[in-house]
Structure 1
Amino acid sequence: MPKYRKVRVAPGGVARIRRLLSDLDPDVVHLASPFVLGWRAVLACQDLGLPSVAVYQTEVPAYAARYGMHGLEQALWTHVKNIHQHASLTLAPSSYTIDQLRAQGVQDVRLWARGVDSSRFDPRHRSEEWRRRIVRPGEKIIGFVGRLAVEKQVEDLVALAGIPNTRLVIVGEGPQAPRLKQLLPDAHFTGFLGGDALARAVASFDVMVSPGELETFCQTIQEAMASAVPVVAPARGGPLDLVNSSHTGWLYAPKDLAGMRSYVQDLTGDDAKRRAMGRTARETVRGRCWKSVCSQLIGHYAAAIENPAPQVLGRSLTGFPRWAQDRVG
């Protein structure tokens, strides 16, 4: 993908996917964040009469605008609607995304959230030794975890510059890294961290800020909360379900960077409040285990098998983009 080489777009037509699925002969097909490959897969499922579950987890139309492709947003929403309307059912990760898809005309949308490993992400992994390598005694760590990409709006963290006795720590990598290092010269960039190293870093934060306004869920918020770290995030998308403002962190109005800064100052300046919010945050997510979440997913598969959408029984090209109709033909 231009400007983001680590994102790869899969080639191959409907016929190839149809052959693969025919050989496998599955009971149901899970379409993970379908847009290009998943679009061809839903057509192949229709050919074979296979139930399909489409999982919405990326707000691609809004991403396009962030990457400078203005004017395409509504056309891309039409494409998203076509994909999900021709799946047996759609799963969305938050109440915001359910409302968003329904407003676009997608009919059968159900909630499927995400689990969190509260053993790996645990306040016990907080490391004073790790903190000493990054901050001076008495300083608080304001953390960010995620891809360093345009849609994450990491540059908004410039608004946090100069908060007394704090240091910004950026965990992640991506195409925006060189620019962000120029914009945030006093921040500490760890690069990519995974596994226990990531858990140790998150637990060692004092506050986490997630400034992206296009998050359909935001798993890193749950991981911070499981680590007893309060979160500051915009009141849009997935964070609306995750952050209970004034109890487990703060939600600020999108684009209100002064509000974001004020909430971060509130938490870094009040140890008792910050710790109380962190404890509440951990208690809020402790029961969200992956076993329970995956059991829900199995239930959604069963529903798709039992009640496949009418389109699965016969292809209808009404409303499909012209290029897709030609490809199918």
Structure 2
Amino acid sequence: MRIALFSDTYYPQVNGVALTLNRLVRHLEHRRVPHRVFVPKIADDDLFRSNIHSFSSIPLFFYPECRIALPNYLSIRSELRRFRPDLIHMASPFNMGVCGLHYGRKYGVPHIASYHTHFDRYLDYYHLKFASPLLWRYMRWFHESCLTTLAPSRETMEQLIGQGIRRVGLWQRGVDCHLFDPGKQTGSVREKYGIRERYIFLYVGRFAPEKDIDILLSIMAGLPESLRDNVHWLLVGSGPLLNDLRLQAPANATFTGYLSGEPLAEAYAAADLFVFPSSTETFGNVVLESFASGTPVIGARAGGVKELVGDGKTGWLCPPRDGEAFVHTIARVMQNPSLLDTAGSQARAYALCQSWDAIFDGLIERYGQLAGSGNNPKDQSHSA
């Protein structure tokens, strides 16, 4: 079985989609599944290997962290003719994904898509809600010939089905419980950042409007004074709102920039509570990373997060974009800090059951079933 993967985001970009796909590619290598990957080139990072082909990209003008790929379709077609994929997987619906879609449709190669981002919800945050009907019309066109569209949560599946996208399946995410582990709580984070307060509250993610950063700020400001003075906020990430957030965040907040690997694992393990108000997540990889680290999560009752967080068990859920509810819940929990230990233990137990290997092996099995389904009327001649 030979797999061609197309995406408009990939390592070294730091987001859930890029990191998941990078891990998937490593798993394909480990399982010796022949594959080719077609992705944008990021800055001066040269990703070219025999199985990874990167193309020029430019930053999105209002969101420089996101990039628009400029693929060379003739080059892609030439490589695919040599490789002769049994299945094409499009992990994004834009420039790179359209190249994979076009080739699959033209030459009768079975193809699937995975849905990762609630773009329609993002439109609200950028005053573009009027474009939502056009977006969904495009999405229906993009997905109509796919053998399946894989969604990361049941909530996302229901939304896709409600928008007229057929043949939707579930592809959840895993977590590395060796990297993210409560044992990484060594005191090094407190020493590195000079933290003296009793509690550490953590946020990990992009500093962007669609992550409800304004709600995070309202939570910081709204904590009762007695608690506020005993909390240090550790804010991990970057994004277009970084400068605004620096200006408005309280003095007891530390901005670490992007972290990965051991430094990120240590930050999770050092935290007493992970505060994640984003209401636009299709899954919430950072929630699982926090769970694996034994750190309970307070999140929005929305998207994939509400399916991960067991309210009152592995964390707590609050109404989306309700900063007062977050503050009230945090204050209630912190009146009995033993609740954090109990929830953290249950969170770790849950994470231990979410193996990346099992999830990716299930995906590879799905690849094989779909590649051999014979649903595509054209034979795979790969001729011009």
User: Normalised by the size of structure 1, how large is the TM-score?
Assistant: 0.89
Deviation at 1:308, TM superposition (A): 5.3
Structure 1 residue 41 corresponds to structure 2 residue 116: no
Determine the C-alpha separation between the residues in 2 that align with 1:12 and 1:121: 36
Deviation at 1:138, TM superposition (A): 5.2
Q: Determine helix, strand or coil for the equivalent of 1:116.
A: coil
Deviation at 1:4, TM superposition (A): 1.9
Structure 1 residue 221 corresponds to structure 2 residue 287: yes
User: Following superposition of structure 1 onto structure 2, how do residues 83-232 of structure 1 map, counting pairs within 5 Å?
Assistant: 83-134=142-193, 137=196, 139-160=198-219, 161=221, 162-163=223-224, 164=227, 165-186=230-251, 187-232=253-298
Determine the C-alpha separation between the residues in 2 that align with 1:74 and 1:114: 29
Deviations 1:28-59 (A, max 9, x none): 11111323321232122111111112010011
CA shift in 2, pair 1:111/1:308, >3 Å? farther
Determine the C-alpha separation between the residues in 1 that align with 2:326 and 2:123: 25
CA shift in 2, pair 1:15/1:65, >3 Å? farther
108-117 or 268-277, which deviates more: 268-277
Determine the C-alpha separation between the residues in 2 that align with 1:232 and 1:300: 34
Instruction: Check conservation: 1:205, 1:229, Cα contact below 8 A.
Output: yes
Deviations 1:155-206 (A, max 9, x none): 2112222441112211001121001111213221111111100000011110
Instruction: Check conservation: 2:197, 2:232, Cα contact below 8 A.
Output: no
* Structure 1, gaps ≥5 residues long: 315-329
Deviation at 1:229, TM superposition (A): 0.5
Deviation at 1:132, TM superposition (A): 4.4
Larger RCO (CA within 8 A; separation ≥ 6): 1
Q: Determine helix, strand or coil for the equivalent of 1:115.
A: coil
Structure 2 match to 1:244: 310
CA shift in 2, pair 1:147/1:308, >3 Å? farther
Structure 1 residue 11 corresponds to structure 2 residue 77: no
Determine the C-alpha separation between the residues in 1 that align with 2:141 and 2:279: 24
Higher share in strand: 2
* Structure 2, gaps ≥5 residues long: 1-59, 380-384
Q: Percent identity?
A: 32
Instruction: Check conservation: 1:30, 1:52, Cα contact below 8 A.
Output: yes
Deviations 1:270-308 (A, max 9, x none): 221110000001101102111101011112212221225
Structure 1 residue 79 corresponds to structure 2 residue 145: no
Structure 2 match to 1:281: 347
Instruction: Check conservation: 1:118, 1:286, Cα contact below 8 A.
Output: yes
Instruction: Check conservation: 2:215, 2:322, Cα contact below 8 A.
Output: no
Instruction: Check conservation: 2:277, 2:321, Cα contact below 8 A.
Output: no
Deviations 1:13-39 (A, max 9, x none): 655543332232111111113233212
Instruction: Check conservation: 1:96, 1:238, Cα contact below 8 A.
Output: yes
CA shift in 2, pair 1:142/1:299, >3 Å? same
91-100 or 298-307, which deviates more: 298-307
Determine the C-alpha separation between the residues in 1 that align with 2:374 and 2:158: 22
Determine the C-alpha separation between the residues in 1 that align with 2:244 and 2:374: 48
